[in-house]
Chain A
């Protein structure tokens, strides 16, 4: 069965310092992985996706993530945090080749950016 674990429920960084949001997944076959961002009182916006092409994936707003199969991880990074990055971030896995067509969300990481 598929699952996603976001290792930190809250992360605080200072503006201008690097961001690391951690995600581990479990999937038996060929997963697709996504990161979404949700700003307060807003819907979800796609940041980036991995679908078995390049393992280092670049997304919007300077975010990127690296797919590491040996570690079953898909951590989200950004070199320099901006105040506007304060939001909740969700890691998502899907694996239709396993015979199920569900999307499984992590429980989210709330990023706080300090001035």
Chain B
């Protein structure tokens, strides 16, 4: 089954404790992306990747890192999380450049205390 898998689905942690949210897709998609969803703001793009070793900033990259060492994986790293990063996070992938529909994971709800 074609899918985008995120882990964990839920995480409560404390300020400053490094965390990684994993994202994996099994569709051989080139384009992958991370979003955060906050009430009233829709989804905002954090980082995206056009292909292996090619990443670029979205609209809200501050406080986040990503890497794309393999085509299928695109982890999101919060090196020193802060409470303003409490949000619902989605990973997505699409076949190629940003004119293709995206497939979304089920989301990761992060709470930073």
Chain A positions near chain B (C-beta within 8 angstroms): 6, 9, 32, 34, 36, 42-46, 49, 51, 90, 94-96, 100-108
Q: Contact check: which of A46, A49, A101, A103 meets B56 at CB < 8 Å?
A: A101
Which residue of chain A lies nearest to B103 when distances are taken between CB atoms in the complex? A46
Q: How large is the interface on B (under 10, 10 to 19, 20 to 34, 35 or more residues)?
A: 20 to 34
Can you list 27 pairs linking A and B with CB atoms under 8 Å apart?
A32-B99, A32-B100, A42-B106, A43-B90, A44-B90, A44-B92, A44-B102, A44-B104, A45-B104, A46-B101, A46-B102, A49-B101, A90-B42, A90-B43, A94-B98, A96-B99, A100-B98, A101-B48, A101-B97, A103-B33, A103-B45, A103-B48, A103-B98, A104-B45, A104-B59, A106-B42, A107-B40
Q: Is the CB of B98 within 8 A of A101?
A: yes
The answer for the CA separation of A59 and B31 in the assembled complex, in Å, is 23
Count of A-B contacts with CB under 8 A? Answer: 61
Which residue of chain A lies nearest to B54 when distances are taken between CB atoms in the complex? A101
19 more A-B residue pairs beyond the given contacts A43-B90, A96-B99, with a C-beta to C-beta distance below 8 A: A32-B98, A32-B99, A34-B101, A44-B90, A44-B92, A44-B102, A45-B104, A46-B101, A49-B101, A96-B98, A102-B45, A102-B98, A103-B45, A103-B48, A105-B42, A105-B44, A105-B45, A106-B42, A107-B42
Q: Is the CB of B105 within 8 A of A43?
A: yes
